[in-house]
Amino acid sequence: MMSLKNIRRRCGGSCLALGRLILAVAILLAAVGTAVAAGKPLTVAEIALYQGPDREKLLMEGARKEGQITLYHSHVHFKIVAQEFEKKYPFLKVAEWRSDGKDLFARVMEEYAAGRHLVDMVNTTDLMVFLRREGILQDYYSPHLSSYGDEYKAKGKAGVTYMATILNYIGLGFNTERIPRAEAPKSLKDLLDPRWKGKMSITPNNTGIQWVGNALEVMGSDFLEKLSRQEVKVQNMSGGALLGLVGSGEVPLSPTIFDDTVVVAKRKGAPVEWRALEPVVTFVHSLGITVKAPHPHAAMLFLDFVHSREGQQIMMKAGIGSPRTDMSSPETRFKKTIFRTKYGPEEFEKKFAEWDKLLRTRFLRGK
């Protein structure tokens, strides 16, 4: 039998790191077992990281006593998942608050600064990085971790700090009554065709800024300069509102439209279509539990539900992309740009400011 000394010699630092992680988990499980046996309440960390064979029983019993969950999120379709969760667990109610990422981040930070720990879970995009940096998010374990690629998981010391739930894609939205499908642009370069001059609009918000950043990195500054000569209009509204103008025909096409909004609009009879202009800017919405979650058992049940095949199927029916490796659809197998994995928080913040300035100098000149 190989000695411990030989194992260390052969494995090196990675083996020692793995050993420390296993030891840490073992200590945590032992602590949870002792606390349960003694009838002591478990901490949020102990509940979030628990992996014992009675995990589901522990979560269910605790959730029944808690009776509710508070969720802050920034995606309109996440409400559908919450409603389906309530149907599966009728003894739980989901209190949700939805806003854009910046307002959501500000609210969480203000509440924690005031010592008001109201929110159990947060689901939003890039700002999850900053919540993690501020120590607001708790590492957790889920039996569904292996169904997600590393690019969709923010790994913590003992689990993940947050994991992807939704993928949104920014692409070309166009009016099929104004533009036949066969004639609509099929690539970023096609946007420079003279026939589209004066017919395109973009949004100046987070969506438009990241689209400009992607175009800059893929096509170069010369492309953006040429595109600005196409008399592209900047509409000070959300991508969803801009799609409404595309549907009415007021705006024939826009390259800053989310795919899921087009799916919903088509179901309502709007003459719109969506097309990927590769590489497609991909917005990754992720879910995490807070370190002071008031309802941690129920929160972990919700996390498991959202990450499961059942939860992901609910969102896919609404036209939303799934990050699960076993649930990708042929329609979303295009080249993607995911800035949150490409750049660290500080670098992305700097890039974002540069792209914002570029959008305004290129497309808002003289306005």
Given a cut of 60, whether residue 48 has pLDDT beyond it is yes
Question: CA–CA separation, 235 vs 208, rounded Å?
Answer: 10
Look at residue 226 and tell me whether its pLDDT is greater than 50.
Answer: yes
* Euclidean distance between CA atoms 43 and 265, whole angstroms: 45
**Most confident region among 62-66, 122-126, 311-315 by mean pLDDT:** 62-66
pLDDT at residue 30, rounded to an integer: 53
4 pLDDT exceeds 60? no
Q: What is the pLDDT of residue 77?
A: 82
Write down the pTM of the prediction.
0.80
pLDDT reported for residue 33: 53
pLDDT digits (tens, 9 = 90+) for 93-120: 999 999 888 899 999 999 999 999 999 9
First-to-last alpha carbon distance for the chain, in angstroms, is: 77
- What's the confidence (pLDDT) of residue 1? 35
Higher pLDDT, 268 or 76: 268
7 vs 218, more confident: 218
Mean pLDDT for all residues in the chain: 89
Mean pLDDT of 133-138: 96
Burial class (CB in 10 A: 0-12, 13-18, 19+), 222: exposed
Q: Where are the alpha helices (DSSP H) in 114-182?
A: 128-133
Structural domains in the chain plus CATH codes: 20-167+285-331 (3.40.190.10), 168-282+332-363 (3.40.190.10)
Provide the pLDDT for residue 306: 97
pLDDT tens per residue, range 245-299: 999 999 999 999 999 999 989 999 999 999 999 999 999 999 999 999 999 999 9
Q: How far apart are CA 190 and CA 283, in angstroms?
A: 23
Q: Which residue carries 């269910």 as its tokens?
A: 60
**Cα–Cα–Cα angle for 298, 78, 59, nearest 5°?**
15
Planar angle of CA 355, 242, 319, nearest 5 degrees: 95
Q: How many CB atoms lie within 10 A of CB 168?
A: 22
Please report the pLDDT score of residue 158 as a whole number.
86
Nearest to 174 by CA among 248, 273, 267: 273
Token output for 87: 């149907």
Express each pLDDT in 7-16 by its tens digit. 334 444 444 4
